Amino acid sequence: MEKIKKVLKNDKFAAYNGIELLEISKGKATVKMEINENHLNGVGITHGGALFTMADYAFAAASNSHGTVAVAINASISYMKATSQGTLIAHAQEVSCNPKLATYTVHITDESDDLVAIFQGMAYRKKNKM
């Protein structure tokens, strides 16, 4: 797990955008993002790209948690609630995992525990160990 954490800490895009890994365990991960002005779109709400990025980071953590390199092949996101401040939490949970492919669902919630977005990601698992 230490090597994975190192790779995740080395994620420049997540760091640059203030997205932080809170927890990682087999098939699961949790990240947080405190919304600041740089996360907003042109109408002042949290950018879909910022939400996607935090979900994707949680997905990357969960999908690499088994110690085998996993790369994202596709993902989808649906938006439920607009936000513009506060702290968001993204929690990734493994739905299925076979030797080649694995799928994850990520829920993003706000401080009222309302669902902000739901994300589905699929990863291709390489043979390489981390």
State CA 24 to chain mean position distance.
11
CB 124 within 8 A of CB 100: yes
Q: Could you give the residue ranges of the DSSP H alpha helices within 1-47?
A: 2-9, 12-16
In angstroms, what is the minimal distance from the CB of 28 to its own copies?
A: 17
Is the CB of 25 or the CB of 41 nearer to its own copies?
Answer: 41
Smallest gap from residue 21 Cβ to its own copies (A): 10
Q: Which is nearer to its own copies, 9 or 26 (CB)?
A: 9
Identity of the residue, 25 or 93, whose beta carbon is nearer to its own copies in the bound complex: 93
CA atoms within 13 A on the CB side of 88: 30
Residues within the interface to its own copies (CB under 8 A): 6-14, 16-17, 37-43, 47-50, 52-54, 56-57, 60, 72-81, 95-96, 98, 100-101, 103, 105, 115, 118, 120, 122, 124
Shortest distance (Å) from residue 16 CB to its own copies:
4
Sign of the Cα pseudo-torsion (39, 22, 75, 65, in order) = positive
User: Of the two residues 68 and 103, which places its CB atom closer to its own copies in the complex?
Assistant: 103
What distance in Å separates the CA atoms of residue 128 and residue 130, rounded to the nearest whole number?
6
